[in-house]
Amino acid sequence: MRQRNTLLALAAASTANAASFADLCATAHVRSALPLNGTLLGIDLLPSSVTVSIYNASSSPSPSPGSSGGIGARSASYNYCNVTVAYTHTGKDDKVVLKYAFPEPSNFKNRFYVAGGGGFSLSSDATGGLEYGAVGGATDAGYDAFSNTYDEVVLYGNGSINWDATHMFGYQALGEMTQVGKALTRGFYGRDSDAKVYTYFEGCSDGGREGMSQVQRWGEEYDGVIAGAPAFRFAQQQVLHVLPSVAEQTLDYYPPPCELAKIVNATVEGCDPLDGRTDGVVSRTDLCKLNFDLKTIIGEPYYCAAQNSTSLGFGFSKRQVQGSTTSYQPAQNGTVTAEGIAVAEAIYNGLHTSGNQRAYLSWQVTSELSDATTTYNSNTDSWELSIPSTGGEYVTKFVQLLDLDNLSDLNNVTYDTLVEWMQTGMVRYMDSLQTTLPDLTPFQVSGGKLLHYHGESDPSVPAASSVHYWQSVRSIMYGDLSPKVSQEALADWYQFYLVPGAAHCGANSLQPGPYPQNNMEIMIDWVENGVKPSRLNATVSSGDYEGETQMLCQWPERPLWKDSSDAFECVSDKESVKSWTYTFPAFKLPVY
């Protein structure tokens, strides 16, 4: 009898759910669920702007294969209520458009999910959380970010910075979208105004920086943040993209791309065994840095066939061809030169002033030297400077304040000039783009969990950049505790993992290593069930060890195979940690 009642109740509930999705996904209901003016300080919602529609997965065509990001593709399998609503900042008369995807009530699991973007874009997709039973949201940040990238609007004109857009892109837009979204989520599903809505962020590259911006500025709003390869310490990070070109100019040697590729390949080959297993992956770039002499590569032959190459670059301005440029490369047949090695060493060694003070860290040895790629001039049959637009555009727009998409040349540009550009960018955008505040107390105190990871052979954002931030947080928050005690305290809520061999936010075609696949499951378990990870689950996706699970070591421990037929051990290695540790005396301000 009791069982039958339960079944009836369940049936009634599911009918109510089925009937109610259309009721919930209705303009009047959404308007009534909006937070009232005055509840979220400084945010006035505009009820008249609300639009709603039910997205029916079954009746909608699936997104085209290869459509960007992959996250959007998930929406094809879920029905959701598509809501847009705008707000204005009190007294400001601006307009920010938000969009949200609400799962059907039967799928809703009390969660809110924010996805990070990349390059100069915030995510414009609100559907990434549907597979986790989460409401998701996206914001146009007040500068129509659904169609514009931030670098297109950062200048009103030469010399005139759009600070509203800068702060919105920097951290504010996502924080406000999340605040409104959580309140709206409670109202939409009829929960109490103080009901818990587990709130997650997941992103990589600029998305990782965005995640860190939320941890730093809106810590109380988030329960779990997953930040990959964050493009933070923005000034140093963007100017770093120009370092390889300046090294080539300074050393007056413009290596053929094939020579650089050979240097990287030979380094990977030479350092592969140092971690105890020869598997094509340098799981210990620190041992490579400490024990491998690049000069031993001099004289090794290289050959690359002629090609019309599409160079990846990390160009992320919309006015430039997104992510790729095509150029002709003749056959390259030669041997690695001392000059080529000197360029590689200058790049891996990182930026120093003319007085030999360190200004910044660099990519780990074994990372591809993508930003050093030269272009072929068929008139002179020689290789010439090619300034990566990532760094070039940052210098023209953000430092020089000129509405130009790239530096046209490096005349009179020295290592000292790069340091000056970093200094200008750091000070000017200290409270907007820099994104390295190391005191995360509000996030920690409210119970937030941070999972931070970085591909060890990342050729765009150096892995050491993440290590440096972890060290900054540890010393600022636990400076009075011993290393061991502070590491344990930190690991209760902030864990950092290097991903051996991995490139920028993904696997590396040159090193068939592991990559984490189920970070959100791990994070949900940590936040909602209290299951604290101690290693990070990752899977090898190609090569001889395809399918192997590697439980990655939590920083500062490092992997080491004692016997290549077993799993690696996680070891402490002081020399190794030292090789990842930097100070930046070129700057008088602390660089967190």
Ligand X SMILES: *[C@@H]1O[C@H](CO)[C@@H](O)[C@H](O)[C@H]1NC(C)=O
Q: Quick one: 88 or 434, whose CB is closer to ligand X? A: 88
Euclidean distance between CA atoms 373 and 233, whole angstroms: 24
327: exposed, middle or buried (C-beta count within 10 Å: 0-12, 13-18, 19+)?
Answer: middle
Active site residue 458: yes
Residue type, 111: R
Smallest separation, CB 428 to ligand X (Å): 18
Q: Quick one: 116 or 533, whose CB is closer to ligand X? A: 533
Residue tagged 């996030």 (tokens)? 443
Euclidean distance between CA atoms 478 and 530, whole angstroms: 23
Q: Quick one: 16 or 22, whose CB is closer to ligand X? A: 22
Q: Quick one: 265 or 353, whose CB is closer to ligand X? A: 265
**CA-based nearest residue to 271, from 263, 320, 170, 124:** 263
Structure tokens at 75: 């929406």
Residue 466 Cα distances to 365, 449, 478, 517, angstroms: 16, 17, 18, 20
Smallest separation, CB 542 to ligand X (Å): 11
Tell me how many helices (H) and strands (E) the chain has.
18, 22
Q: What are phi and psi of 551, to 5 degrees?
A: -85, 100
| From 371, 386, 458, 465, active-site residue | 458
Q: Is 348 helix (H, G, I), strand (E, B) or coil?
A: helix
Instruction: Output the CA torsion sign for 42, 48, 54, 60.
Output: negative
Euclidean distance between CA atoms 107 and 259, whole angstroms: 54
Active site residue 452: no
Interacting residues toward ligand X by CB under 6 A: 22, 36-37, 44-47, 51, 53-56, 59, 82, 84, 88, 157-158, 258, 261-262, 265, 302-304, 306-308, 315, 320, 325, 328, 333, 375, 386-387, 389, 392, 402-404, 406, 408, 411-412, 510, 517-518, 537, 539, 549
Q: Quick one: 310 or 572, whose CB is closer to ligand X? A: 310
Smallest separation, CB 574 to ligand X (Å): 30
Find the helix or strand (DSSP H, E) in which 540 lies: strand 536-540
Q: What are phi and psi of 203, to 5 degrees?
A: -165, 165
Residue 513 Cα distances to 205, 535, 573, angstroms: 19, 16, 22
Would you give the end-to-end CA distance of the chain in angstroms? Answer: 65
Smallest separation, CB 591 to ligand X (Å): 27
Instruction: Output the CA torsion sign for 477, 483, 489, 490.
Output: positive
Active site residue 205: yes
Smallest separation, CB 541 to ligand X (Å): 10
Angle at 484 between CA 479 and CA 485, to 5 degrees: 65
Q: Strands 198-204 and 111-115: what pairing?
A: parallel
Q: Quick one: 304 or 440, whose CB is closer to ligand X? A: 304
Q: Quick one: 43 or 437, whose CB is closer to ligand X? A: 43
Q: Quick one: 46 or 491, whose CB is closer to ligand X? A: 46
Cα dihedral angle (102, 103, 107, 111), rounded to 10 degrees? -40
| From 75, 121, 123, 205, active-site residue | 205
Find the helix or strand (DSSP H, E) in which 478 lies: helix 463-478
Q: Quick one: 67 or 518, whose CB is closer to ligand X? A: 518
Smallest separation, CB 421 to ligand X (Å): 16
Smallest separation, CB 20 to ligand X (Å): 12
277: exposed, middle or buried (C-beta count within 10 Å: 0-12, 13-18, 19+)?
Answer: buried
Task: Report whether 204 contacts 116 (CB < 8 A).
Answer: yes
Smallest separation, CB 224 to ligand X (Å): 16
- Residues pairing with 307 in the sheet: 329
Smallest separation, CB 159 to ligand X (Å): 8
**CA-based nearest residue to 227, from 200, 252, 266:** 200
Query: CB-hemisphere CA count at 13 Å for 233?
Result: 27
* Residues designated as active site: 205, 458, 504
